[in-house]
Amino acid sequence: MELDRFDKQILEILSNEDINLNELSERINLSVSSVHRRIKHLIDNAIMTKVKRDINYQKLGFSLHVLLQVSLSKHDTDTFSK
Q: What is the pLDDT of residues 15-41, one digit of tens each?
A: 888 889 999 999 999 999 999 999 999
pLDDT above 80: residue 52: no
pLDDT of residue 7: 96
pLDDT of residue 32: 94
**Measured distance CA(28)–CA(24) in Å, rounded:** 6
Q: CATH assignment of 5-81?
A: 1.10.10
pLDDT-based confidence at residue 50 (cuts at 50, 70, 90): confident
SS3 category, 25: helix
pLDDT > 90: percent of the chain:
46
Question: What does each C-alpha distance from 73 to 39, 42, 70 come to in angstroms?
Answer: 33, 34, 10
Question: What does each C-alpha distance from 16 to 32, 41, 55, 82 come to in angstroms?
Answer: 19, 20, 11, 23
**Measured distance CA(30)–CA(12) in Å, rounded:** 15
